[in-house]
Amino acid sequence: MHDLTRRSFLCHVAAATSVAGQVHWLAAQETQPKVLPVAAVVTQYSNNSHTDVIVGKILAGFDQQGGQGPALKLVAMYTDQVPDGDLSRGLAAKHDFQIARTIDGALTQNSDRLQVAGVLSIGEHGDYPYTPDTKQHMYPRRRFFDAIAATFRRVDQVVPVFTDKHLSYRWSDAKHMVHVAKEMQIPLMAGSSLPVTWRRPAVALPIGCEIEEALVVGYGGLESYGFHALETLQCMVERRTGGETGVASVRVLQGNEIAKGGAAGIWSEELFAAVLQTMPGQPAGDVDRLNDGAAFYVLEYRDGLKATVAMANGVASQFGFAARLRGQREPIATWFELEVKKPFGHFEHLTRAIDHMIHTGKPAYPVQRTLLTTGVLDSVMQSLADDARKHETPELAVSYQPADWTFANRDEQ
């Protein structure tokens, strides 16, 4: 029922911008795209929160100091919580956007038509409970999405939606969200900033390459940062021969099982060392230095690819990737560099991808990537709560072809 509405929206967007359909952005253009209005639906807006480092770039430029930014204008925001240190009310007065009492109000400004060309849903940070058994953070990402979709149904219009990080803490929620988006023809994009950050060296695996084994090194919380590590892995391995086919099983190694797994070839010590060698100031990867917060996620893909996410707490405090490609003697490896102070420039490149989707109606990369990483992460957390038993994952038969979207320094190749 949304075909004509969506087609009209896309035609409007195509007319509004001279860069519709482009994959790579340009630093300067003779014709600038029209500035399009957007709404933000967020858990909260505090300093350095995900709302701040994404929406802040719409309000105050990529440097968050008034410089050049995306061709977007924030016109309304819904905040689920207003903590001490809230920034939203002061910024609303400064930048002249509405603080809406409801999600519907943020999208329609209490009318019967959408008043925005896109929606940013940011369910990260805030005071939300954890699941009792698996300790997954119950951010209201599905609730936000369902409310956005309900408004779309009410007004019989759709616009692109970006939802930050993993789709939900539950696989069933994520599957529901992607299903509804497909049914309603909502352009939907999600995920981490890691796939678009700087890579040192600037490695982009060729689409159709043959990967024999892959490994990512990550650090931090096993759910919150484990997701970023999984997205780092997935943005690389999805480019292999045949595209993505899904994950057949997940298991988690902890404690002494990590070293035993390396010795037994369950995960690659060679690839682990190759990743660490790309990281500045990083000592050699002695697994004896791993602390109690370390865990290695061992994935078996449906097409036979073996991959590991090494949450190497105690050894590493950065992200990186390595793979062994067929026909090459040495592993290929790269460090995924983040800017660890404001303006957290890796979020600039995520915001550019969001800007692209809102102007073209086409996600910069497939939401199926984040559908899969969401499902894998849920299985990881279930395994951790289940004495690290191996979990077969027939439900994660997620197939898709990669997009060739860029990253921060791809032009250095």
Confidence at residue 6, expressed as pLDDT on a 0 to 100 scale: 47
Query: What CATH number corresponds to the domain at position 96?
Result: 3.40.50.720
Same domain, 189 and 258: no
pLDDT in tens, 205-241: 999 999 999 999 999 999 999 999 999 999 999 999 9
Average of pLDDT values for 164-171? 99
Same domain, 269 and 184: no
Query: What confidence category does residue 46 fall into, taking pLDDT thresholds of 50, 70 and 90?
Result: very high
In a domain, 59, yes or no: yes
Say yes or no to pLDDT of 12 above 50. no
Same domain, 164 and 66: yes
Task: Give the start-end residues of each E strand in 24-139.
Answer: 36-42, 72-79, 98-100, 118-122
Select from 186, 55, 57, 176 the least CA-distant residue to 124: 55
In a domain, 172, yes or no: yes
In a domain, 413, yes or no: no
Same domain, 179 and 230: no
User: What percentage of the chain carries pLDDT values higher than 90?
Assistant: 90
Q: Say how many domains are in the chain.
A: 2
Same domain, 45 and 170: yes
Same domain, 177 and 36: yes
Same domain, 103 and 172: yes
Q: 3-state class of 75 per DSSP?
A: strand
In a domain, 68, yes or no: yes
Confidence at residue 16, expressed as pLDDT on a 0 to 100 scale: 38
Which residues neighbour 49 within 8 Å (Cβ) at sequence distance 6 or greater?
Answer: 124, 125
Same domain, 179 and 208: no
Amino acid, single-letter form, for residue 267: W
Bridge pairing between strands 118-122 and 247-253: unpaired
φ, ψ dihedrals at 13, nearest 5°: -65, -40
The parent domain of residue 205 ranges over: 196-338+375-407
Structure tokens at 37: 């209005």
Same domain, 175 and 285: no
Q: Which residues pair with 247 in a beta bridge?
A: 301
CA 246/CA 394 separation, integer angstroms = 9
CA 46/CA 57 separation, integer angstroms = 14
Q: 3-state class of 81 per DSSP?
A: coil
Say yes or no to pLDDT of 67 above 80. yes
Confidence at residue 413, expressed as pLDDT on a 0 to 100 scale: 79
In a domain, 412, yes or no: no
Confidence at residue 410, expressed as pLDDT on a 0 to 100 scale: 96
Task: Give the start-end residues of each E strand in 126-271.
Answer: 161-164, 188-191, 198-200, 211-218, 247-253
Confidence at residue 148, expressed as pLDDT on a 0 to 100 scale: 99
Q: Distances in Å between the alpha carbon of 392 and those of 99, 183, 208, 373?
A: 45, 28, 27, 15
In a domain, 274, yes or no: yes
Which residues neighbour 186 within 8 Å (Cβ) at sequence distance 6 or greater?
Answer: 149, 152, 158, 159, 160, 161, 180
Q: 3-state class of 268 per DSSP?
A: coil
Same domain, 50 and 178: yes
Same domain, 390 and 350: no
Select from 283, 347, 351, 270 the least CA-distant residue to 315: 283
Q: 3-state class of 148 per DSSP?
A: helix
Query: What CATH number corresponds to the domain at position 248?
Result: 3.30.360
Lowest mean pLDDT among 22-26, 65-69, 258-262, 313-317: 22-26
Same domain, 294 and 162: no
